[in-house]
Amino acid sequence: MLILNEQLIQSIYKIEDAIRDVENMLVAIHEGRVQNPHRTVLNVPERNGSVLYMPSSDGTSMAATKIVSIFPDNSSADLPTTQGAILLTELQTGRHISLLSASYLTRLRTGALSAISARHLASQTAKS
């Protein structure tokens, strides 16, 4: 299994890549080519936390499951309050092929969605 940490992902994947990929993903969702079921939430009330499981698939070759843990009280112990990972699964054999750190990718996705929204929804006469 290929493991990609935050630093490596930041060095090879940029906002331009994210904008292109997110726009392609939005088209695929609109065309019904993506399976994107509701996320599953595992609550951990005794630790004021939760773990979110968010699966998706292109339905043909790959599936991805993003796992995000949110533990706000971690800040008092100088630990991250939010952590995430993405597991990629190849659909021909079910083999898990890669584990990626998800924090940077999540930030890029958020920025990419904003850029795409501005491009398609902003008035043509808008000025910065």
Q: Give the domain CATH number at 19.
A: 3.30.1780.10
72-110 residues labelled b (16+ CB within 10 A) or e (exposed)? eebeeeeeeeebbebbbbeeeeeeeeebbbbbbbeebbe
Residue 65 counted as domain residue: yes
Residue 125 counted as domain residue: no
Residue 128 counted as domain residue: no
Residue 19 counted as domain residue: yes
Residue 126 counted as domain residue: no
Task: Please state, in angstroms and rounded to a whole number, the distance separating the CA atoms of residues 54 and 77.
Answer: 27
Q: For 56-103, how does the pLDDT look when each residue is reduced to its tens digit (9 = 90+)? A: 998 789 999 999 999 999 999 999 999 999 999 999 999 999 999 998
Residue 73 counted as domain residue: yes
Domains contained in the chain, number: 1
Q: Residue 127 pLDDT more than 80? A: no
Q: What is the value of pTM for the model shown? A: 0.84
The domain of 76 spans 2-117
Tokens representing 98? 């890669």
